[in-house]
């Protein structure tokens, strides 16, 4: 397996040969500020809530890995159901799962920078330059993160080719055409621009809400900043599209039950050219992502779309060794590179 010490060598190798897409995980956000976006930071915040149920979960399972806790709760719930356990006990486990999900969401929101202008312009510019490497040449961006960092950079980074699929629809076309009414536009809905979509939040994100008939994107307005408006929805019992299940199969099941997420996943299954990953570790709960990449590699032709190679950013020798151990799971050519040579926020 080839390894590159310099990210620019990877870009130089691929530029002009194939389309290059980007897959980012939590390491992308941690590169901005590990004090906010690490699993430890999220777990510490949740533990400070002083909820006895959550405290019990962390103490018994002795981990700060939310995916592991979710996975074990799901397994325990299935076991209780199969054994015909007492309904009250099953409800306690179900409630604990729901409470952990809500607490994780609250943690992401509360630890988040207050608004986009809290992020230094230099960091925005640096990250925009990094993302332009992919979007300016026909590539796509896939994110498994819940936070707003990518959204904010795309908003402030002067991108002409970034399309997340959302747009407004005219609600009164006939009346406005006749001049009887002023044009009445909908809130931001997913659909109007989906044919050109190249930004995909595979696990959802804070601004996206499923309102039964539509997938909508919250935004800032005269009533409040984006996080404030998201908070208002949370206060009303509305929750963002947010995949927090444990195993890869459980995540995929949730993805397939949401039209927006399923569409994002299908795009990954058909990604063309090469994929570069940043901050995505391909751990035991990421099998659904590997499956999607393998589907892209299995295209029955040599013309686009077809995935030919994956360049995985690793932070350490241990990370490199991990990819070497799982290399055979991938059906496209796999290479690694030193991700420290490609910090998108602080080069």
Structure confidence by residue, pLDDT tens digits, 254-301? 899 899 999 999 999 999 999 999 999 999 889 999 999 999 998 766
Q: Do residues 107 and 122 share a domain?
A: no
Choosing from 111, 140, 170, the residue where a domain stops is 111
Using DSSP's 3-state secondary structure scheme, residue 201 falls into strand
Q: Do residues 223 and 161 share a domain?
A: yes
Contact at 8 Å (CB) between 227 and 114?
Answer: yes
Distance, in Å, from the CA atom of 336 to the CA atom of 347, rounded to the nearest integer, reads 19
Residue bearing the bigger pLDDT, 84 or 45 = 84
Per the prediction, the chain carries an average pLDDT of 85
Q: Do residues 208 and 228 share a domain?
A: yes
**Residues constituting the chain:** 347
Structure confidence by residue, pLDDT tens digits, 111-133? 778 777 889 999 999 999 999 99
In a domain, 282, yes or no: yes
In a domain, 107, yes or no: yes
The pLDDT, as a whole number, for residue 246 is 67
Residue 60: count other Cβ atoms within 10 Å of its Cβ: 10
The mean-pLDDT minimum among 89-93, 107-111, 181-185 falls in 107-111
In a domain, 347, yes or no: no
Query: What is the b/e burial string over 201-213, where b = at least 16 CB atoms within 10 angstroms of the residue's CB?
Result: bbbbbbbbbbeee
- At residue 100, does pLDDT exceed 80? no
Q: Do residues 48 and 75 share a domain?
A: yes
Q: On the CB side of 212, how many CA atoms lie within 13 Å of its CA?
A: 1
| Phi, psi angles (nearest 5°) of residue 243 | -85, 110
Structure confidence by residue, pLDDT tens digits, 36-79? 776 555 556 566 656 677 667 666 766 655 556 666 777 777 77
- At residue 138, does pLDDT exceed 90? yes
Q: Do residues 248 and 127 share a domain?
A: yes
- At residue 6, does pLDDT exceed 90? yes
Range of the domain at 75: 39-111
The pLDDT, as a whole number, for residue 245 is 63
Q: Do residues 193 and 274 share a domain?
A: yes
The structure's pTM equals: 0.83
The pLDDT, as a whole number, for residue 125 is 95
Q: Do residues 121 and 217 share a domain?
A: yes
Residues 6+ apart with CB under 8 A from 326: 282
Q: Do residues 208 and 325 share a domain?
A: yes
- At residue 139, does pLDDT exceed 90? yes
The C-alpha torsion from 6 through 8 and 10 to 15, rounded to 10°, is -170
The pLDDT, as a whole number, for residue 333 is 96
Contact at 8 Å (CB) between 250 and 243?
Answer: no
* Residue 195 banded pLDDT, cuts 50, 70, 90: very high
Per the structure, how many domains does the chain have? 2
Burial label, 11 (beta-carbon count in 10 A; 0-12, 13-18, 19+):
middle
Q: Do residues 27 and 64 share a domain?
A: no
The pLDDT, as a whole number, for residue 346 is 86
Structure confidence by residue, pLDDT tens digits, 101-113? 677 667 766 777 8
The pLDDT, as a whole number, for residue 84 is 79
Distance, in Å, from the CA atom of 60 to the CA atom of 64, rounded to the nearest integer, reads 11
């Amino acid at each position: 397996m080839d390894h590159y010490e310099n990210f620019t060598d990877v870009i130089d190798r691929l530029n002009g040969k194939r389309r290059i897409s980007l897959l980012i995980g939590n390491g992308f956000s941690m590169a901005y500020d590990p004090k906010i976006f690490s699993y430890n930071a999220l777990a510490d915040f949740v533990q400070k809530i002083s909820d006895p149920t959550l405290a019990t979960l962390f103490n018994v399972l002795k981990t700060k890995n939310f995916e592991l806790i979710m996975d074990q709760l799901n397994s325990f719930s299935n076991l209780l159901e199969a054994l015909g356990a007492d309904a009250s006990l099953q409800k306690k486990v179900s409630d604990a799962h729901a409470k952990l999900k809500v607490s994780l969401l609250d943690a992401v929101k509360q630890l988040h920078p207050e608004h986009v202008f809290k992020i230094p312009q230099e960091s925005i510019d640096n990250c925009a330059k990094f993302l332009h490497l992919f979007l300016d040449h026909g590539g796509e961006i896939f994110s498994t993160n819940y936070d707003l960092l990518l959204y904010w950079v795309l908003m402030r980074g002067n991108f002409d080719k970034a399309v997340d699929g959302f747009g407004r629809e005219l609600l009164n076309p006939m009346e406005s055409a006749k001049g009887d009414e002023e044009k009445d536009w909908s809130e931001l809905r997913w659909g109007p621009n989906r044919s050109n979509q190249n930004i995909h939040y595979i696990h959802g994100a804070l601004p996206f809400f499923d309102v039964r008939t539509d997938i909508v994107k919250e935004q800032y307005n005269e009533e409040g900043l984006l996080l404030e408006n998201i908070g208002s929805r949370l206060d009303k019992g509305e929750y963002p599209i947010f995949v927090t299940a444990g195993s890869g199969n459980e995540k995929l099941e949730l993805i397939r039950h949401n039209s927006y997420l399923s569409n994002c996943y299908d795009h990954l299954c058909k990604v063309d050219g090469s994929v570069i990953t940043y901050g995505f570790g391909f751990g035991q709960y990421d099998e659904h992502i590997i499956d999607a990449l393998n589907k892209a590699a299995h295209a029955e032709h040599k013309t686009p779309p077809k995935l030919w190679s994956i360049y995985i950013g690793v932070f350490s020798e241990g990370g490199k060794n991990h990819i070497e151990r799982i290399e055979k799971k991938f059906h496209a050519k796999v290479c690694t590179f030193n991700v420290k040579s490609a910090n998108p926020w602080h080069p």
